[in-house]
Amino acid sequence: MKTDFSIPQRVLHWLMVVLLAFNLLASDGMGAFGQLYFGDQPIPADIAFSANIHATFGIAILVLGVLRLCLRFVQGVPPAPAVEPPMLRIVAKLCHFAFYAIFIIMPLAGIGAFYFKNSAAAFAHIGWMKTLLWILIGLHVAGVLVHQFYWKTEVLKRMTIGSRS
Ligand code: HEM
Ligand code: HEM
């Protein structure tokens, strides 16, 4: 039985955490970019530069997210620890499924906004998609903390140094 996430799965997890954190937390310039862009105003070079970084990181999230999903189909994932109640197992599964969905649809909406000037895509991107992503991250981190400190399982180890270390 698989006990840990594979090394490529672990590297992808943490690499994507960094990229997502950057796009979520360093996105102030994107608000200004959106206003100028959709208002047909000229865009200063510094705002255009940060928008390009945001777009590049976002497209990297899309590509890595798809790669990670393929890896999941091929390599599988370790089973939920026995101590986890069935109800919370379902919540965790739904949360992971929603993460993978958002890794794909959020960058696609960004592409719609950035390259095709689609305002509905921009609205969804900075509206419910951003909110959903934050909610998922909150639930996810809370779940990991409960595993680590309340149930004292190996869940964090299998996504970092490995459960046999
Ligand atoms: C999962 C990956 C991504 C995340 C987490 C993300 C996150 C964000 C956030 C937090 C904002 C700012 C919202 C605000 O002002 O409060 C934003 C705006 C924006 N993002 Fe992304 N983004 C991602 C991918 C992309 C991609 C791939 C593109 C384009 C290729 C893109 C283009 C834009 C644009 C154009 C805006 C401004 C929209 C507007 O204000 O009307 N994003 N994004
Ligand atoms: C942007 C933030 C994050 C995102 C998008 C994210 C996403 C994910 C996803 C999608 C999975 C499921 C992998 C799969 O079953 O294929 C996962 C697993 C995991 N994540 Fe995160 N994660 C984030 C932040 C964190 C943080 C901050 C921690 C540590 C506190 C963490 C610890 C873990 C652990 C331990 C697992 C393994 C869970 C298990 O064994 O079932 N993640 N993460």
93 HSE (CA, 13 A, CB side): 12
How high is the pLDDT of residue 102? 98
Q: pLDDT above 90 covers what percent of the chain?
A: 95
* pLDDT above 80 for 43: yes
The Å distance, Cα 64 to ligand 1 centre, comes to 17
Rounded to 10 degrees, the C-alpha dihedral 133/65/116/37 comes to: 50
Decide: residue 111, CB within 10 A, 0-12 exposed, 13-18 middle, 19+ buried: middle
- The rounded radius of gyration (Å) of the Cα atoms in the chain is 18
Whole-number Å distance between alpha carbons of 128 and 6 = 32
Mean predicted lDDT score pLDDT of the chain? 97
Instruction: Write down the residue that tokens 């689609």 correspond to.
Output: 118
How high is the pLDDT of residue 1? 80
pLDDT greater at residue 119 or residue 163: 119
Check if the beta carbon of residue 106 is closer than 8 Å to that of residue 129.
Answer: yes
The Å distance, Cα 54 to ligand 2 centre, comes to 22
| Residue 103 identity | F
For residue 129 and ligand 1, the question of a CB distance below 6 A is answered with no
- Show Cβ contacts of residue 22 under 8 Å, excluding neighbours closer than 6 positions: 57
Q: Structure tokens of 85?
A: 């109640």
The Å distance, Cα 126 to ligand 2 centre, comes to 23
For residue 99 and ligand 2, the question of a CB distance below 6 A is answered with yes
For residue 60 and ligand 2, the question of a CB distance below 6 A is answered with no
Alpha helices in the chain (DSSP H): 7-25, 28-38, 45-75, 86-116, 119-124, 130-146, 155-158
For residue 88 and ligand 2, the question of a CB distance below 6 A is answered with no
The Å distance, Cα 28 to ligand 2 centre, comes to 25
Q: What is the mean pLDDT of residues 30-55?
A: 96
Whole-number Å distance between alpha carbons of 91 and 79 = 14
Give the pTM: 0.97
The Å distance, Cα 129 to ligand 1 centre, comes to 10
For residue 77 and ligand 2, the question of a CB distance below 6 A is answered with yes
Check if the beta carbon of residue 36 is closer than 8 Å to that of residue 29.
Answer: no
pLDDT, tens digit, 9 for 90 and up, residues 57-92? 999 999 999 999 999 999 999 999 999 999 999 999
* pLDDT above 80 for 165: no
